[in-house]
Each structure stands twice: as C-alpha cells, then as structure tokens.
C-alpha cells in the first residue's frame, strides 16, 4: 500500500486575503521553478476562513496543483451558531480538507474529545477529509509516556466513523509546536505506528494502511528528511515554516534530500 505523502501548511491566524494571494503565488512558482512533481507529493495550505475564497479562485484560475482546506469547522450544519462556519460552506468553496482538534483549539477554546469527534463527523458529512490533530503536553508526556494520549485522542475522534472513511491524523506533540523543540524521528515513528494501530482498531486494517499520518511541531526544510524516512510518517503539518514560501517549498521538496 503506497500512501501519497502529504505536506500541509497551517497558517493559523496569519495572512489576510491579499497576503494569501501573494503567498500561494510565490509557493506555486517556487515549486514550478524547482520542477516539483505535484503528483508524487500532495501539498496543501490551510489559510484563515477569510482567505479561502481568494485562495480557491487563484488555485482554480491558475490550475496550481495545490490543495486547500480550513483550520476548523462547526460541529453543526446551519442555524443559530454565531461565529461558527459550517462544513457545507467549506465544501461549497471546494475545500478538500479541514483541520480538526488542533491543540490550540483544544487548549484555547476548550475543545474536548467529544467536540472534536462531533467536528470530525461534521467534516465527513460534508465530504471534507478531516486532518485530526492529536498530541500530548509536556506534563502528559511525563505522566503517561509517549503514545498513550495521542492514541486515546485518535480513538475518541474516530469513534463511530464507518470503515472506508478517508481521514488524516497529525501527531503534534504540544511541547513541539512553535517552540523550535522537535520530536526525534524515532519518537514520531513510534507514535505514528501506535496511531496506525488505533485506526485499525477503530475502523479497519485497510483504513489503517490507507490513512496518512503526519508529524507536526517545528518542522523545517532542514529536519523534514528524517521524519519522511520513517515508515509510519507520511507527511507533515507545518505551522511557522509554512508562512515562508521558499522554506515551505523546501519542505515539500523533501524527496530531493530524503535519500542519501
Ligand atoms: P509549528 O506548528 O510548525 O509552528 O511548530 C505546527 C502546528 O501547529 O500545526
């Protein structure tokens, strides 16, 4: 089973809609100049909601081989939910993906495992592939070890999903996000394998084999190769480094430096 590597850029609350156009253009041109093979590695951007229409229009008009998605969605489809954004609206903008359960939302917005699971269901209802973020804090790492929290969060997020539903899971140790502290490739592999086993348990062996598992947390062009050499790491969810198109293109071009 070969999984197409997935390099995803989570812009967080950066870039207004005008800046988003410049960033996507520069990213696409940089990849093109480098003769990047967009069919062998999938590259996706996750801009703020307010940028999505501009990003969609640009990618569509220029036929860039870039995917895009949103950083969050409502667990509800429509109605009196001030400030929420429905998965239906994201699908109408051609989003392929939506990030669910990022630790910045679990921690800063009180998103529980139940809320995350409801958002995963909402994404799937609207034909969006959820990029489900899991990961332990430094305190949880000390108390429970490496895999326990990410595995429990994965199982909770996948609860009730029928076999055959496409999902992406991103292992993002909270202590590695935006800190410059990076998990070792060996730890990413250990947790990636444990997450894959959790997908098999929650869904099926076929789903486990087909699902892409990403590592996230201070990924840069200089450290991506070590992660991509791991059999259970199929890509990266990149925060800070995705705001620099040259650096992000360098991460997407990991096949150029992963060998050796
Ligand atoms: P970082 O963020 O690459 O800036 O550490 C990763 C993320 O939060 O998805």
Whether ligand 1 lies within 6 angstroms of the CB of 219 is answered as yes
Whether ligand 1 lies within 6 angstroms of the CB of 245 is answered as no
Kindly tell me the sign of the dihedral angle through the C-alpha atoms of 218, 223, 229, 230.
negative
Residue that is written with structure tokens 């060998």 in the block: 259
Cα-based angle 97, 103, 108 (whole degrees, multiple of 5): 115
- Angle, nearest 10°, between helix axes 113-125 and 148-158? 50
Task: Report, in angstroms and rounded to the nearest whole number, the Rg of the chain calculated over CA atoms.
Answer: 17
How far does residue 80's CA lie from ligand 1's centre (Å)? 32
Per the annotation, the verdict on 102 as an active-site residue is yes
pLDDT along the chain (260 residues), means of 10: 92 98 98 94 98 98 98 98 98 98 97 98 98 96 95 97 97 93 96 98 98 97 96 98 98 79
Which tokens is 217 given? 């947390």
Best residue among 8, 103, 219 to mutate for probing ligand 1, ranked by most atoms within 8 Å of CB: 219
Other Cβ atoms less than 10 A from the Cβ of 85: the count is 16
Task: Note the pLDDT of residue 226.
Answer: 96
Task: Note the pLDDT of residue 260.
Answer: 41
Whether ligand 1 lies within 6 angstroms of the CB of 235 is answered as no
Which tokens is 218 given? 């201070």
Spatial CB neighbours of 86, under 8 Å, sequence gap ≥ 6: 73, 74, 76, 77, 78, 122, 126
Going by their DSSP bridges, the two strands 42-46 and 235-238 should be labelled as: unpaired
pTM beyond 0.95: the answer is: yes
Reduced to 3 DSSP states, what percent helix, strand and coil does the chain have, rounded to the nearest 5?
45, 15, 40
Closest by alpha carbon to 94, among 136, 60, 125, 71?
A: 60
pLDDT tens, residue by residue, 17-55:
999 999 999 999 999 999 999 999 999 999 999 999 999
**Residue whose CA lies nearest to ligand 1 atom number 2:** 239
Whether ligand 1 lies within 6 angstroms of the CB of 221 is answered as no
Which H/E stretch holds residue 29?
Answer: helix 17-33
Whether ligand 1 lies within 6 angstroms of the CB of 59 is answered as no
Ligand 1 atom closest to the Cα of residue 216 is: 6
Q: Which of 42, 102, 104, 136 is catalytic?
A: 102
Ramachandran category for residue 18: left, alpha or beta (phi over 0 → left; psi -120 to 50 → alpha): alpha
How far does residue 54's CA lie from ligand 1's centre (Å)? 23
Distance from C-alpha of 216 to C-alpha of 253, rounded to nearest angstrom: 17
Whether ligand 1 lies within 6 angstroms of the CB of 236 is answered as no
pLDDT tens, residue by residue, 123-132:
999 999 999 9
Best residue among 14, 216, 236, 251 to mutate for probing ligand 1, ranked by most atoms within 8 Å of CB: 216
């Amino acid at each position: 089973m070969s999984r197409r590597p997935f390099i995803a850029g989570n812009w967080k609350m950066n870039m207004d809609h005008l800046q988003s156009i410049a960033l996507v253009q520069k990213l696409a041109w940089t990849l093109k100049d480098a003769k990047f093979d967009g069919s062998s590695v999938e590259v996706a951007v996750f801009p703020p909601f307010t940028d999505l229409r501009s990003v969609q229009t640009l990618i569509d008009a220029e036929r860039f081989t870039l995917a895009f998605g949103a950083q969050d969605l409502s667990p509800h489809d429509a109605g009196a939910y001030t400030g929420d954004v429905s998965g239906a609206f994201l699908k109408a903008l051609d989003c392929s993906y939506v990030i669910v359960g990022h630790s910045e939302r679990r921690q800063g917005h009180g998103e529980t495992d139940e809320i995350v699971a409801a958002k995963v269901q909402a994404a799937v209802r609207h034909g969006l592939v959820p990029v489900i973020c899991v990961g332990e804090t430094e305190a949880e790492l000390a108390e429970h070890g490496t895999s326990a929290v990410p595995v429990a969060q994965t199982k909770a997020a996948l609860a009730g999903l029928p076999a055959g539903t496409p999902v992406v899971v991103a292992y993002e140790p909270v202590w590695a996000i935006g800190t410059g502290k990076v998990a070792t490739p060996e730890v990413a592999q250990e947790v990636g394998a444990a997450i894959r086993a959790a997908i098999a348990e929650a869904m099926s062996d076929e789903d486990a084999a087909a699902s892409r598992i990403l590592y996230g947390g201070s990924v840069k062009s200089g450290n991506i190769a070590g992660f991509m050499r791991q059999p259970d790491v199929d890509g990266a969810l990149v925060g800070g480094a995705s705001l620099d198109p040259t650096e992000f293109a360098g991460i997407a071009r990991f096949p150029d430096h992963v060998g050796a």
